[in-house]
Amino acid sequence: MIDVSTAIRACPLIAILRGITPDETDAIGDVLIETGFRVIEVPLNSPDPFASIERMVNRYGHYALIGAGTVMSTGDVDRVKAAGGRLIVMPHSDLDIVRHAKSVGLSVAPGVATPTEAFAALAAGADALKLFPAEMITPSVVKSLRAVLPASARLVPVGGITASNIPAYRAAGANAFGIGSTLYSPRKPALAVKGSALELIAALAG
């Protein structure tokens, strides 16, 4: 099975499918995998998220990293693991959740916005740092964080990421990008999702 490092090297875009339903997962997942995405996150405030995660794990789990976002408790972590998910993404930096996720063998990306949060999350075992909300964490801030954080730290801006600002964030030192409504919104047709995915992937070369 693919790990965080391999998945991000293959494609540094994380699909955030907030609002997806289990019946949509095959069509949307197929176009994402086809266009090159290798990390897919189902936020837990989506309809029936654990069923969606389980369905996507069964279909793509051997060559994509599937997990959950908006994880708010250690109990959520356990339910994600039971569904087969292997990635925990949080909007905040609850170190108990980070440690618990690592203790049960999952990868975890807590949300951070300051150097203090970032260093604490890394010390707790975070595999990546979700820089959130990226609307407040500009490329210049990312550059400043990159200057003081360990070179091995994976910085992942999330929130307001589009094809137009990906190049500036990459130049500042971001390793990957969480893509939400720019890529997917509930009931967005799979063909339209594919078009958005291709535009975002093209921006990586910009």
| Catalytic site positions | 41, 130
Q: How far is CA 70 from the centre of its chain?
A: 10
DSSP state of 22: G
Report which of 169, 179, 109, 114 is spatially closest to residue 143, judged by C-alpha positions.
169
| Residue 47 exposure: Cα atoms within 13 Å on the Cβ side | 10
Please say whether the beta carbons of 187 and 24 come within 8 A: yes
Distance CA 36, CA 43 (A): 21
Instruction: Name the residue with tokens 């407040």.
Output: 136
Cβ count near 161 (within 10 Å): 27
Please say whether the beta carbons of 133 and 122 come within 8 A: no
- In the chain, the amino acid numbered 9 is R
